Amino acid sequence: MNAVNPSPALSVLDLVPVRSGQSTAQAIASSLELVRLADRLGLTRYWFAEHHNMPAVAASTPPVMIAAAAAQTDRIRIGSGGVMLPNHAPLVVAEQFAALEALAPGRVDLGIGRAPGSDPVITALLRSSGPTADVERFPQHVQDVMALLQRDGATIRLTSGETYPVRATPAAEGTPTVWLLGSSDYSARLAAELGLPYVFAHHFAGPGLQQALTLYRDGYRASEEHPEPRTFVTANVVVAPTQDEADERALPQLRSMARLRTGKPMGPLETVEEAKAAPLDTLGEQAVADMRARWIVGTPEAAADELARLAAAHGTGEVMAVPVAASYAGEDLATTPGRAQTLELLAGALAAR
């Protein structure tokens, strides 16, 4: 163990990537293979994201993926990273996660965000249900979900003046752990005010991590369940036996993110061969270079050391890796060899430090 920067606990955030030539069924099968591996490796938690109408991402329904993962794992915590609450009625979210908690007692995390998870057209479709989709009511809706998840549920007052009890499940024995997620100061302040664990989306937001964590910790109001602030850091990670392979496996995802940030048409995630064969324009290449500087891409020992330094720099004992290693053309479409290799090599290197 490195005495200067001890190894952090390792977790996973999965967007369920869809690569060239791959079906949704194959993409989901590969992610379930990955969560089984993470369970065997002894990783801490495995979260599924919520994104919509993106050709390269199949993670649109975290509760469905969590239920599938719960059925195929034994010990790892599983959850959402996150559920975009303005897209859903609080009672629906509470009921879904209460049911998940019943399926996997003591293993469920409910990570909540307020971003749309898609473009304006899809956001309008998701939020066509009226007042439940009001982003301005996000703080109240977070508290509604928390109340509904409690064993005693919540009480609402009807227009007649009578009260009416509401419970997410009729006989809950436990509740999921609620986390707030964000990429700005807003969620950091709200998590501090509500006494909730908090995660800054460092893997795509980049600047602002330290400021958000300082605001969160300095403004934290202790709650019964969480007397101390609790957080971890996220990072895009690719690990391979050689630096050259790591660089190659990182390229397709870097190019995909560059297209997103420069307004170019999106498609399924390229193979390594496809990415190397089609140069980007100057703006795209600059976006790739800017993002690459914040990603952790390398050999096992170097990546483990960099992750440990990242955790130590921000005072966290856990890192959630987004394994963004792409595939070569000949690799099985129902598996995810690059991402599996990243987790295996990284977990081994962290344990050996």
Look at residue 306 and tell me whether its pLDDT is greater than 80.
yes
Could you tell me which residues are beta bridge partners of residue 80? 48, 110
For range 281-293, the mean pLDDT: 89
Residue type, 274: E
Look at residue 96 and tell me whether its pLDDT is greater than 80.
yes
Q: 274 in a domain, yes or no?
A: yes
Q: Which two tokens stand for residue 8?
A: 């952090």
Quick check: 36 and 70 in contact, CB under 8 A?
no
CB neighbour class for 301 (10 Å; exposed up to 12, middle 13-18, buried from 19): middle
Span 248-276, pLDDT tens digits: 999 999 999 999 888 888 899 999 999 99
Span 321-349, pLDDT tens digits: 999 999 999 999 999 999 999 999 999 99
Using alpha carbons only, what angle is made at residue 79 by residues 123 and 40, rounded to the nearest 5 degrees? 140
86 or 39: which carries more pLDDT confidence? 39
How crowded is residue 263: how many other Cβ atoms within 10 Å of its Cβ? 8
Q: 3 in a domain, yes or no?
A: no
The predicted structure's pLDDT at residue 131: 44
- What is the tally of structural domains in the chain? 1
Q: 321 in a domain, yes or no?
A: yes
Residues in the chain: 353
Quick check: 13 and 234 in contact, CB under 8 A?
yes
Phi-psi region of 163 (alpha: psi -120 to 50; beta: other; left: phi over 0): beta
Q: Cα–Cα distance between 143 and 90 in angstroms, integer? A: 9
Could you tell me which residues are beta bridge partners of residue 85? none
Q: How far is CA 174 from CA 70, 95, 98, in A?
A: 16, 13, 8
The predicted structure's pLDDT at residue 333: 96
Q: 1 in a domain, yes or no?
A: no
**What sign does the CA torsion over 288, 289, 290, 294 have?**
positive
The predicted structure's pLDDT at residue 116: 61
Using alpha carbons only, what angle is made at residue 232 by residues 341 and 64, rounded to the nearest 5 degrees? 65
Q: How far is CA 163 from CA 91, 132, 149, 157, 214, in A?
A: 17, 20, 18, 4, 41
Nearest to residue 71, comparing CAs of 24, 98, 35, 42?
35
Q: How far is CA 172 from the centre of its chain?
A: 26
CATH for 281 = 3.20.20.30
Q: Cα–Cα distance between 207 and 141 in angstroms, integer? A: 28
Span 130-150, pLDDT tens digits: 545 567 778 888 988 898 888
Q: 297 in a domain, yes or no?
A: yes
Alpha helix (H) residue ranges in the chain: 24-41, 62-71, 90-103, 120-126, 138-149, 185-194, 202-205, 209-218, 243-261, 272-277, 282-292, 300-313, 337-352
- Give the domain extent around 49: 9-352
119 or 159: which carries more pLDDT confidence? 159
- Is pTM, for the whole model, over 0.95? no
Would you give the DSSP letter of residue 151? Answer: T
Q: 4 in a domain, yes or no?
A: no
Q: Cα–Cα distance between 315 and 8 in angstroms, integer? A: 10
The predicted structure's pLDDT at residue 174: 87
Task: Count Cα neighbours of 324 within 13 Å in the Cβ-side half-sphere.
Answer: 28
Q: 2 in a domain, yes or no?
A: no
How crowded is residue 347: how many other Cβ atoms within 10 Å of its Cβ? 22
